[in-house]
Amino acid sequence: MGFLSADLPEVDLATWKDRPHLERMKVLSRHWVEYGFGTPWAIHVIYVVKIGLYVLGGLFFAATTPGIGSIWDVASWWSEPILFQKALVWTLLFEVLGLGASSGPLAFRFTPPLGGFLYWLRPGTIRLPPWPGRNPLAGGSTRTVFDVLLYAGIIASALTLLLSAGVPKAGAPEGTVGLLDPTLLFVLIGIIAVAGLRDRMLFLASRGEQYWVLCIMFAVLPFVDMIVGAKLLMCVVWWAAATSKLGRHFTFVVCAMTTNAPLVRSKRFRRALYRNYPEDLRPSKRAAVLAHSGTVIEYGVPLVLLFSVNQYVTLGAVAIMAIFHFYITLNFPLAVPLEWNIFYIFATAWLFLGHPAADFGIWSMSSPWLAAGLLVALAFFPVLGNLRPDLVSFLPSMRYYAGNWATTMWAFRRGTGDENGAEHRLNTHVVKSAPNQVDQLTAMYGNEVAELMLQKAVAWRSMHSHGRTLNTLMWNHLDSLENYDIREGEFVAGTLLGWQFGDGHLHDEQFIAAVQQRCGYGPGEVVVVILESQPIHRMRQQYRVVDLALGEIERGSVEVRDMIAHQPWLENGPIPVQVESSAAIGRRSLREPDPA
């Protein structure tokens, strides 16, 4: 890997696209072990600069608060409660603008490197209202001027809060400059709620399960309850994330993430994460120990933070969680939730060190019923999401980094030329702010390298446990894998929606219907396979296969033990699946018409 040059596998680019799909997965997954995505160092430097700008922006808004001293006089403002509040609102705004997660080349955004506001301020783009048919605010799938105004209202209300002065609040320490005005907070809370009912992407992009909930706490709870409530939310996030990693999927995530980390340079260490490189790319015992060491930290250390009354023990626990989140940041995971990790480092120190359990423990809340009610409310969606993952996004379920997500893979039938292929119709029929990723990359590197890079993304998915099933379903339902351009569903959705963060529910049947409404594909032109998350109490996952023109053509389930037993390139053939229903269409309908 060079500063400006990427590490690409040594293949014949001229014939690469015509090689069998699973053979390409074999080459690329092996290359991933030693080089990851092969991203140039300059890309990571850009993200480091972006983190710096995020931190400077937070300091700027803190410094503009009337009554706070010089930004260089840390002691004068570090303990101010409004600092934490404004850091939270700034992080929310940073995310909802599209500057945080799902931005830049590591989220497969190249030209332009942003989605977010470029889409959500543009009428005519696709939106995905939650609960269509039951939601009175849902409407259709097209963004209107009203939706644009709602989104602009989120930006305006967040900026108003960031530039506002503090107001007194019951229980706040004497001598502070005050806290954010609850009235202004309610405006932001209300606009996000309405905008989220019109487009669930906006609620998810604002990280509503954390930031929106904290804004509600800021607005309605007395000072001590607000601080303890924020601690409880952070602990629930850690515990829920740890719980989601108890399955068989998480070790695959750690292998793929660690072998993509720019600072992990040792090929020997990278290979040791797998059972027998290059023949067996299932995770090794060393990878399992590395993965679940983090799980132990997420379970145990938050308990210490919540109940420790010893200053040095608390300091040690804060240091461990700071290192934990800093480690994730240094891995530069492909969804690049970097600012979220930086905020959690700050929030852990500010909440648990600056407001120790001796004065701000769970027993310090104004009512034990309030503490119990908060815990139940915060745990509701994680519990529901683990039992019925089909009902809840993995974000409110708090199943971060677990590898147990809803996922999709898309197959676009090739044409005689790029402009005749099914994928190109997305450029001509869908309102968006960026061309298809293959076109973005082609403009930068040429079509041959562009195809190689897009297939590297599919190989990355194939290295996860669910990727094996997605490839199997494609194998089962396409006349030939080589007649199609196979694309990672998350990146297809990201180009058309302006935001993605690993949530396969954003590119499920609702999104598919919106694409088909605009593009009018014929039978067999575009096929999507959808794999739902694994419920915590069942060792199988549900799948659907959808032809955009014909609708659902099959659904069934696959056993997790079968998923994790195969290589990314399915060396022993497709994984066994249990078909539960199948349309009377058959694979023949997905074939090109006979010459006769």
Q: What is the pLDDT of residue 593?
A: 37
Name which of 124-138, 161-175, 182-196, 300-314 the model is least confident about. Answer: 161-175
pLDDT at 590 over 80: no
- Residues 545-570 have a mean pLDDT of 96
Q: What is the pLDDT of residue 417?
A: 65
Residue with tokens 């694979």: 587
The pLDDT, as a whole number, for residue 402 is: 86
* pLDDT, tens digit, 9 for 90 and up, residues 160-212: 999 999 999 877 888 889 999 999 999 999 999 999 999 999 999 999 999 99
So what's the pLDDT on residue 592?
Answer: 41
**DSSP output for 345-406:** HHHHIIIIITS-HHHHSGGGSS-HHHHHHHHHHHHHHHHHHHH-TTTS-TTTTT-TTSS---
Residues 6+ apart with CB under 8 A from 534: 247, 249, 389, 404, 540, 541, 560
> Measuring CA to CA, how many Å separate 593 from each of 137, 416, 480, 567?
43, 15, 13, 33
Q: How far is CA 166 from CA 74, 84, 202, in A?
A: 18, 12, 27
Q: Which residues in 64-90 are b (16+ Cβ under 10 Å) and which e?
A: ebeebeeeeeeeebeebbbbbbbbbbb
Contact indicator for 544, 555 with CB cutoff of 8 Å: yes
Helix axes 285-307, 250-258, angle to 10 degrees: 100
Mean pLDDT of the chain, nearest integer: 92
Query: Whole-angstrom Cα distance, residue 306 to residue 225?
Result: 14
Q: Are strands 540-547 and 484-488 parallel, antiparallel or unpaired?
A: unpaired
By three-state DSSP, how is residue 499 classified?
Answer: coil
Helices (H), 407-446: 425-429, 437-445
Q: Please, are residues 477 and 555 in contact by the beta-carbon 8 Å criterion?
A: no
- The predicted structure's pLDDT at residue 69: 75
pLDDT for 3: 62
Q: ∠113-117-119 over CA atoms, to 5°? A: 85
pLDDT-derived band at 365 (thresholds 50, 70, 90) equals: very high
Cβ-contact 245, 287 below 8 angstroms: no
pLDDT value at 479 more than 80:
yes
Q: Using one digit for the tens of pLDDT, what is the confidence trace for 377-421? A: 999 999 999 999 999 999 999 988 888 999 999 999 998 766 778
DSSP H or E segment with residue 409: strand 407-413
Distance between CA atoms of residues 83 and 62, nearest Å: 6
Which two tokens mark 375?
Answer: 């815990």
As given in the structure block, the two tokens for residue 98 are 């599209």
- pLDDT tens digits, residue range 17-48? 889 999 999 999 999 999 998 888 899 999 99
- Give phi and psi for 579, each to the nearest 5: -75, 125
What are the distances in angstroms from CA 279 to CA 30, 170, 264, 284, 571?
9, 64, 22, 13, 10
Where b means 16+ CB within 10 Å and e means fewer, 142-167 reads ebeeebbebbebbbebbeebbebebe
Nearest 5°: CA angle at 77, between 76 and 80?
Answer: 125
Answer yes or no: are the C-beta atoms of 351 and 76 closer than 8 Å: no
User: In the predicted model, is pLDDT for residue 136 greater than 80?
Assistant: yes
Residue 587 has pLDDT above 60, yes or no: no
Give the pLDDT confidence score for residue 185 in this predicted structure. 98
Please say whether the beta carbons of 137 and 363 come within 8 A: no
β partners of residue 412: 485, 526
Q: Which two tokens stand for residue 386?
A: 């683990």
pLDDT at 173: 83
Asked if 325 and 344 touch (Cβ cutoff 8 Å), the reply is: yes
Q: 446 — alpha (psi -120 to 50), left (phi > 0) or beta?
A: left
Residue spans of beta strands (DSSP E) within 140-279: 274-276
The percentage of the chain sitting over the pLDDT mark of 90, rounded to a whole number, equals: 80
Instruction: Specify the range with the lowest mean pLDDT, choosing from 226-230, 419-423, 465-469, 512-516.
Output: 419-423
Which amino acid does the sequence have at 336? V
State the pLDDT at residue 418: 64
Q: pTM, whole model, 2 decimals?
A: 0.93
Q: In this predicted structure, what is the pLDDT of residue 552? A: 96
